[in-house]
Amino acid sequence: MERSLMLIKPDAVTRGLSGAILSRVEASGLKMTALKMLHVSPELAASHYAAHQEKPFFPGLIAYITSAPVVAAIFEGDGAVGRIRALMGPTNPTQAEPGTIRHDFGIDIERNAVHGSDSAETAEKEVKLFFDEQEFVHYNRAD
């Protein structure tokens, strides 16, 4: 069973969209196995976005993700990473199809409502950054 991290970013949390976003992912058949709200520390943000450290937008990325709370969730299911990425749509909400999370809830390329792991390998790392194994709840979906 594949796991993937989804972060509901500060712009979506502060607009009260967390429930609507989580609901869409659950409705897709993926199983939510961990969930929490947190303020991302600058250290956690730097680890999470380490791949972008040398890019000019890195400081703004860190400032944004630490500006307000995020909701972190882990979803499990066959092809979870790809399924979540399809639900989110492209990074830029103006390029996303209607019905995707970023099209429907994103403001712009920086405030695009959500983050999702981009590969199974990245998901493994991101899951461990945001959650300890004892934070997972194991159960069977009723469907």
The Cα–Cα gap between 69 and 12 comes to: 10
Task: Identify whether the C-beta of residue 111 lies closer than 8 Å to the C-beta of residue 9.
Answer: yes
Choose among 2, 1, 20, 42: nearest CA to 114: 20
Task: Identify whether the C-beta of residue 100 lies closer than 8 Å to the C-beta of residue 89.
Answer: yes
The Cα–Cα gap between 15 and 50 comes to: 27
Residues recognised as catalytic: 115
Rounded to a whole number, what is the largest CA-CA distance in the chain?
47
